[in-house]
């Protein structure tokens, strides 16, 4: 080699990696959102595409099966997620700070639930979606000759569930009031078939989330006050939370299949979409208007007034959690995804998310309060039952109180009947009033 050759090259020159920009950057940051949205669109397409073929029960079960497994896995992680997040979150805050956050959180949830109940009443009165001519002969009247639940029972049941007598039992059962016939030896000879039923506190299947939340908050707050002696327990629950979140990350890659299966199964399971939509079009419009007003105006205004930041940017960060909640029709099922969004792209303080989200999942039922307000007045309007101002005010309070105890296993029919029975003892068309409303929503 000549002196000008510069000798052999021992290393290769490589260009520095270029970070994606524009659409590629957005796609890389929102891959999970894109595939979730693709699952929603695919499920809608499959559902309406297969409706003309009138598939049998076995085919519907097979189509819905992946979605069922997806929901089961999400719900599987709810209990350990709630326990670990609440204990670790409340322990990381001092008792005074935990108390402040708890009071502010509950105050916000109470006020927003009351607002949504009031908003639902106002909208249903102004729009008046319930028309008597919507009644159909195929829906038989359902008479309530005997009292089976009322608002007092619901309020007392909330207290019983907040203070469970067995924390292990609270993991799989919740207290509720039932009315049963008195035992034979307690009856008199003069008793007849219309004898009043006896109130009994019983237990039904379903996680008592209220009791677990209360216990974990108290346990975590006192654990944090122990100082170094309690650190090993705090680290234990912190590790559990991180493991569950890693499991959630893995499950999220199954979201397109699970979500599309859930949506397709629901669409195929409705016997007559056109008839239901025609009968409930104004009801659907009323509820939708209320939801959009609260979601896109009220919530954004609250966020802007308190933080002075762009609320829609924050809202976009929750898109995946919102899509999951809409597709699965379960706030609890979307809780793991909400944790992932809050602590990931949105970078919210984990101490706050782990304290607030589990409580909100069980107590902050704004949509339920709005739906119950509209649905019950809708049924009254269909049956020409006039409601005065005092009745509407009472209904607003009722709609705010009853959803507090809801969780993923709450019987929606019982909840709706408890609300409606405050004013209606003999109600016609209850089948149309609830079954079809839930079918659509």
Residue 126 has pLDDT above 50, yes or no: yes
- Residue 280's pLDDT is 74
Query: What is the average pLDDT across 357-378?
Result: 80
Rounded to whole angstroms, how far apart are CA atoms 242 and 141?
Answer: 52
Which of the two residues, 413 and 155, has the higher pLDDT score?
155
Q: How confident is the model at residue 416 (pLDDT cuts 50, 70, 90)?
A: very low
Residue 213 has pLDDT above 80, yes or no: yes
pTM score, two decimals? 0.67
Q: How confident is the model at residue 4 (pLDDT cuts 50, 70, 90)?
A: low
Using a pLDDT cut of 70, give the percent of the chain over it. Answer: 72
- Residue 63's pLDDT is 93
Rounded to whole angstroms, how far apart are CA atoms 423 and 425?
Answer: 7
Q: pLDDT tens digits for 288-324?
A: 899 899 988 999 999 999 988 888 888 888 888 888 8
The residues pairing with 174 across neighbouring beta strands, listed in sequence order, are: 204
Q: How confident is the model at residue 149 (pLDDT cuts 50, 70, 90)?
A: low
Quick one: 164 exposed, middle or buried, by C-beta within 10 A (0-12, 13-18, 19+)?
buried
Which of the two residues, 237 and 280, has the higher pLDDT score?
237
* 173-to-160, 206, 208 alpha-carbon distances in Å: 12, 5, 6
DSSP per-residue string spanning 300-333: HHHHHHHH-S-HHHHHHHTHHHHHHHHHHT-TTT
Q: Where do runs of H (alpha helix) occur along 163-227? A: 209-224
Which of the two residues, 397 and 238, has the higher pLDDT score?
238
Q: How confident is the model at residue 423 (pLDDT cuts 50, 70, 90)?
A: very low
- Residue 210's pLDDT is 82
Q: According to the per-residue pLDDT averaged within each range, which of 57-61, 74-78, 191-195 is highest?
A: 57-61
- Residue 100's pLDDT is 82
Q: How confident is the model at residue 8 (pLDDT cuts 50, 70, 90)?
A: low
Residue 141 has pLDDT above 90, yes or no: no
Residue 10 has pLDDT above 80, yes or no: no
The residue assigned the tokens 């708890």 is: 102
Q: pLDDT tens digits for 150-159?
A: 667 777 888 8
Query: Does domain 25-440 bear CATH number 1.25.40.20?
Result: no
Domain ranges of the chain: 25-440
Average pLDDT value for the chain: 76
| Closest among 157, 139, 154 to 416, alpha carbons compared | 154
Rounded to whole angstroms, how far apart are CA atoms 156 and 165?
Answer: 15
Residue 148 has pLDDT above 50, yes or no: yes
Query: What is the average pLDDT across 234-250?
Result: 89
From 5-9, 141-145, 194-198, the region with the lowest mean pLDDT = 141-145
């Amino acid at each position: 080699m000549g002196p000008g050759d510069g000798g052999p090259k021992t290393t290769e020159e490589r260009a520095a990696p270029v970070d994606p920009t524009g659409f590629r950057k957005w796609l890389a940051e929102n891959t999970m959102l894109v595939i979730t949205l693709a699952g929603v669109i695919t499920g809608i397409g499959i559902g309406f595409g297969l409706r003309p073929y009138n598939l049998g029960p076995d085919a519907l079960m097979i189509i819905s099966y992946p979605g069922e497994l997806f929901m089961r896995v999400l719900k599987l992680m709810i209990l350990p997620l709630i326990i670990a997040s609440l204990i670790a979150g409340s322990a990381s805050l001092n008792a005074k700070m935990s108390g402040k956050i708890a009071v502010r959180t509950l105050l916000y949830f109470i006020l927003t639930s009351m607002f949504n109940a009031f908003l639902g009443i106002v909208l249903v009165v102004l729009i008046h979606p319930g028309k008597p001519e919507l009644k159909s002969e195929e829906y038989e009247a359902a008479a309530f000759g005997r009292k089976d639940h009322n608002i007092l029972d619901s309020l007392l049941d909330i207290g019983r569930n907040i203070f469970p007598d067995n924390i292990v039992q609270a993991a799989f059962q919740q207290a509720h009031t039932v009315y049963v016939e008195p035992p034979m030896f307690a009856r008199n000879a003069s008793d007849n078939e219309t004898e009043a039923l006896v109130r009994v506190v019983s237990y039904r299947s379903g996680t008592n989330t209220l009791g677990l939340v209360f216990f974990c908050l108290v346990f975590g707050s006192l654990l944090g006050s122990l100082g170094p002696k309690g650190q090993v327990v705090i680290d234990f629950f912190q590790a559990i939370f991180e493991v569950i979140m890693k499991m959630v990350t893995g499950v999220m890659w199954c979201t397109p299949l699970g979500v599309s299966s859930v949506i397709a199964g629901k669409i195929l399971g409705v016997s007559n979409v056109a008839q239901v939509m025609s009968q409930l079009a104004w009801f659907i419009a009323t509820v939708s208007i209320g939801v959009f007003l609260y979601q896109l105006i009220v919530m954004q205004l609250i966020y802007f007034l308190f933080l002075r930041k762009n609320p829609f940017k924050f809202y976009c960060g929750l898109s995946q959690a919102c899509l999951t909640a809409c597709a699965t029709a379960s706030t609890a099922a979307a809780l793991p995804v909400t944790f992932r969004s809050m602590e990931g792209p949105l970078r919210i303080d984990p101490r706050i998310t782990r304290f607030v989200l589990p409580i909100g999942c069980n107590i902050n039922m704004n949509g339920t309060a709005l739906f119950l307000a509209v649905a019950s007045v809708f049924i009254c309007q269909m049956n020409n039952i006039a409601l005065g101002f005092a009745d509407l005010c009472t209904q607003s309070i009722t709609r705010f109180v009853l959803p507090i105890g809801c969780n993923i296993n709450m019987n929606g029919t019982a909840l709706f009947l408890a609300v409606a029975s405050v004013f209606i003892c003999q109600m016609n068309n209850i089948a149309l009033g609830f079954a079809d409303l839930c079918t659509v929503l």
